[in-house]
Amino acid sequence: MTGVGDVSRATAADLVLLVPELILVGMALAFILVARRIQRTPLAHIALGGTILAALAAALAATWVVPLESAGDGATGFGGMITMDGYARFFEVLIAASLALAALLSVRSLDGERIPRAEYHALLLLASTGMMLAVSSLDLLTLYLGVELMTLCSIVLVGIRIERPAANEAAIKYFLIASFASALLLFGISLTYGVTGATDIAAIASALRGTESNPLLLVAMGLLAAGLAFKIAAVPFHAWAPDAYQGASAPVAAFLAAGSKAAGLAALGRVCLVAFGSEARTLKVILAVLAALSIIVGSIIAISQTDMKRLLAYSSIAHAGYALLGLIAGTPEGASATMTYACFYVFMTLGAFGVVIALGERGESLDGFRGLAAQRPGTAAVMLLFLLALTGIPPTAGFVAKFGVILSVVRADHVALAVLAVICSVVSAFVYMRIAVFMYMKEPEAPAPSRFPVTVSAALAVTALVTLVGGILPSSLVPWAVSP
Amino acid sequence: MTDYPVLTVTTFMPLAGAALVFFLKSDRLSRWIALATTLATLAVSTPLYLRFDKGSGALQFVESAGWIPSWNVSYGMGVDGISLPFIFLASVLTVLCVGASWTAVRTRVREFHVALLVAETAMIGLFAASNLFLFFVFWELMVVPLFLLIGVFGGPGRVFAAVKFLLFTLAGSVLMLVGIIALHNLCGTLDFKALAGANLEPRHQAWLFAAFLAAFAVKVPMFPLHTWLPNAHTEAPTAGSVILAGILLKMGAYGFLRVSLPILPDAVQLFLGPMLIVSAVAIVYGAYVTLVQTDVKRLIAYSSVSHMGFVTLGIFTLDRNGVEGAILQMINHGILSAALFLCVGMIYERTHTREIKDYGGVARAAPVYSILLALFCLAAAGFPGLNSFVGEFMIIGSAFETRFWLGASAIWGVALGTTYLVWLYYRVAMGKTNPELAGLALELDVREVATLAPLVLLAVVLGLYPECVLSYLHVPVRELLAAGGAP
């Protein structure tokens, strides 16, 4: 608990590091206090506008508030608990982007169901705050707080459609498993503190350097990895994801799949690479097992899914596995590969969810995609792009992401793992291309979908653009993906 | 005279056309745009043939630009004498595909032409790529439009055929991806020329060869990975079959020439025996299976297995004549299988049957069609004076020099090939007119004759003067074999 005493003397320089989080919290509080009164009025869309504004402001703040040159080791605050290094910056922008896109995608579900608009957006903002806090913490306790804030808000978001039993059931399942995961995480933190006498990530690293390996430390690392693996839904800690995604409204599922996975990966990356950098040999095994299981289970179980949200849930499990591949090597290049993967994955999965959302009820089941290409060729083409990206076919961003993580695995001499990963990508190709078969090669059964809300179209355009441009010019991202 | 980047423009012009077709929402216009684009692509590629220096084995028309510096991957284009004929073939065949689909494709015309044009970009880009990363990008890009062409516009079993095609090719190409990444890890570069001088350890070479073999053998296709081919070729629309048989099958063999032979010479020696045996089996087995087909398209599809067996046989003789013959044979097969699929497609449009027994006596009703079909069947059977003869002759000659039984099985394959093609022609065009065909206007119209005319011309010219292709091959093949440690 180094530096706890300093927190009371938080200065303006410390607060600057939290500007993105403060913007989001401020907006969330404003919604709860003010917007609650106007949500039955034509001004209801103010919540959407406010959320997007806050997301943009947070992204800008994350990029420009702290000048880059001081963002090295110097830019820490709150007694070394919070940082604004390149790693945090990257993920904060990514989280802000997924927040804005999720808000854009939520319009239809908010219009169609009786969901309190102000609270919904406030919860989205607070969940994002938690994610940002988690990615910028240099201390296991603040990391824990961030992750828990994210999870609690997500649970409420999953169950926010109170009239639907499925949503309630999903929220309760998610809550039970998430509390279990929190306990594991906290237990891991306490054991780590027991072994090293610190919760500060840098202090843990220096305490572990040069010491004999300790069985207690092994347990601590296992518990920490398990707790964070829950957050990214890696097998065998994935069981909540399909139920939660299916019970939640599609935009909430999209937000969970994108934002919370990115935040979980970021937290896992920092813990593995910095705190336990000296235990790379043990961590490698843990991460390799998590990754391999996630890829295999996610790809194979997705085959039999006919509910789109469940299908995308299993797809997100498999992708968690692919993203973990980059961390196995334990090198900065590997971490960059995982960051690139997380970034592109966020956009392509939000895009795929976006099409599901755009189609409304029809998009929730695989059968709804029958004959889409004949009715809406543009939408089908965009969906095909996301599916190709999720499969990892060039020239989409998915290929670049996959190339990067597999390259880092091969560099770490785990060729068998690389072969396993690509073979499973053929299995998942079957899953994704089955949707393409339904879109292009079957006759339509449902009437053509009505026009999409302009916000949904905007979100689809942004995600499609990133998915395509990221595949053609991946180097535009590289300077940003700096490992912790 | 030419100050534009020829290869880049040639490669991406079809893609621009595809974008135009996609955004101009008119079916009628899309045919004309596609035709104009394919012709323009052919036009902008002319400097390649006019200004190519046949005396040099180095890549020409080289273009290079930074792309992904963190992986040391650049955007690199360049052609040598081996890749140039394929660019020509790809750009010619796509024009013919547009012509052949003018009336055959009536629904979702825009999507059809978008897929066709994207496929053209992938084909030309693949043969123009000067590094393995770009090669792989185009290799994979090729799969998607063909998946859609087969699955959307094909026959009754199209969905199964499309998915089978997709899974077979992807399963092969992901292993190639691991191979590429491993090569990158070992050498730090993916440039073809740099890799050729890399001198990898034999142990690594063997594994890399196996990884690349997975991708190439599926595409060629080599026995026993050929089972996707009959489905895909049979169910695909005519244009899809033409692209599949004409270009896609050549991508695998081109991969052997571009990657396996120059970069993995030790592994090639190691795998030589199995490759030759598999090639011989493909020739003979393919021919026998072709013999018993009752569906015209399926028959031509299986004949490809046999003919591509000749190609891999030629390549792995590692003899100058064999390799040159194999490349020539790839071009010949591209021309002839395209021509035969076009012929079948044209008559199918009128009769709506692919069963051989539903035909008979077509020659009486459609003399021009029958003459052209006869020409293509004879050419494919290896009739002297037409194009296939020269390539097969060169391959068989080298095969006899390598092992007697290889040559013998190749001869056997030729004999069977003549049998099934002549028998096919006999059953379709000769004999009594099938009563079911009475009253149908079977004769070709001007557009269709114009579509087939370039292929007739190519078949005759390459038959009488094969040197017009071979002259491009002499230097690069000599250098390839010299570097690759020929026996």
Question: Running along chain B, 487 residues long, what does each successive block of 10 average in pLDDT?
Answer: 80 92 86 92 89 86 88 90 92 92 85 93 94 93 92 89 93 92 90 85 91 93 90 91 92 92 90 92 94 92 92 92 93 93 90 87 87 92 89 92 91 93 90 80 87 92 91 90 62
Q: Is B5 helix (H, G, I), strand (E, B) or coil?
A: coil
Query: Which positions in chain A touch B152 (Cβ < 8 Å)?
Result: 373, 440-441
Contacts of A153 (CB under 8 A, 6+ apart): A123, A124, A126, A127, A130
What chain B residue is nearest to A472 in terms of C-alpha separation? B67
pLDDT value at position A13? 75
**Which of B69, B170, B174 is opposite residue A475, by nearest beta carbon?**
B69
Contacts of A157 (CB under 8 A, 6+ apart): A120, A123, A124, A127, A248, A252, A255, A256
Query: Which positions in chain A touch B163 (Cβ < 8 Å)?
Result: 430, 433-434, 437
Separation in Å, CA of B346 to nearest CA in chain A: 24
Hey, what amino acid is at A400? V
Confirm if A348 and A386 have CB atoms less than 8 A apart.
yes
Hey, what amino acid is at A229? A
Separation CA A191–CA A220 (nearest Å)? 5
Rounded alpha-carbon distances, angstroms, from residue B127 to A202, B10, B78, B85, B211: 52, 11, 9, 9, 20
Confirm if A330 and A277 have CB atoms less than 8 A apart.
yes
Separation CA A100–CA A106 (nearest Å)? 10
B111 near A CB under 8 A? yes
Q: Which helix (H) or strand (E) holds A192?
A: helix A165-196
Rounded alpha-carbon distances, angstroms, from residue B111 to A172, B115, B147: 46, 6, 12
Hey, what amino acid is at A43? L
Separation in Å, CA of A479 to nearest CA in chain B: 10
pLDDT value at position A113? 78
Separation CA A25–CA A129 (nearest Å)? 7
Q: CA-based diameter of chain A, in Å?
A: 67
Residue to substitute from A422, A468, A469, A480, interface B, most B β-carbons within 10 A: A422
Domain ranges of chain B: 6-483
Separation CA B445–CA B450 (nearest Å)? 9
Q: Do A407 and B167 touch (CB under 8 A)?
A: no
Please state whether beta strands A82-83 and A76-77 pair in parallel, antiparallel, or not at all (unpaired): antiparallel
pLDDT value at position B349? 87
Specify which residues A368 forms β-bridges with.
Answer: none
Q: What is the mean pLDDT of chain A?
A: 88
What tokens appear for A268 in the block?
């896992």
Q: Do B151 and A440 touch (CB under 8 A)?
A: yes
Separation in Å, CA of A412 to nearest CA in chain B: 10
Q: Do B174 and A433 touch (CB under 8 A)?
A: no
Separation CA B290–CA B203 (nearest Å)? 39
* Alpha helix segments (H runs only) across B320-435: 320-351, 362-365, 367-381, 387-402, 404-429
Confirm if B422 and B313 have CB atoms less than 8 A apart.
no
Residue to substitute from B132, B142, B176, B178, interface A, most A β-carbons within 10 A: B178
**Which of B110, B141, B167 is opposite residue A395, by nearest beta carbon?**
B141
What tokens appear for B146 in the block?
């063909």
Q: What is the DSSP string of A355-396?
A: HHHHTGGGGGBGGGGTTHHHH-HHHHHHHHHHHHHHHT-TTS
Which of A161, A163, A289 has the alpha carbon at shortest distance from A225? A289
Query: In terms of C-beta density within 10 A (0-12 exposed, 13-18 middle, 19 or more buried), how is residue B111 classed?
Result: buried
Which of B41, B136, B432, B211 has the alpha carbon at shortest distance from A394? B136
The separation between CA B346 and the C-alpha centre of its own chain, rounded to angstroms, equals 20
Residues in chain A: 484
pLDDT value at position A38? 65
Query: Which positions in chain B touch A403 (Cβ < 8 Å)?
Result: 71, 177, 181
Low-confidence ranges of chain A (pLDDT < 50): 1-7, 71
pLDDT value at position A66? 65
Tell me which residue has tokens 């030309």.
B124
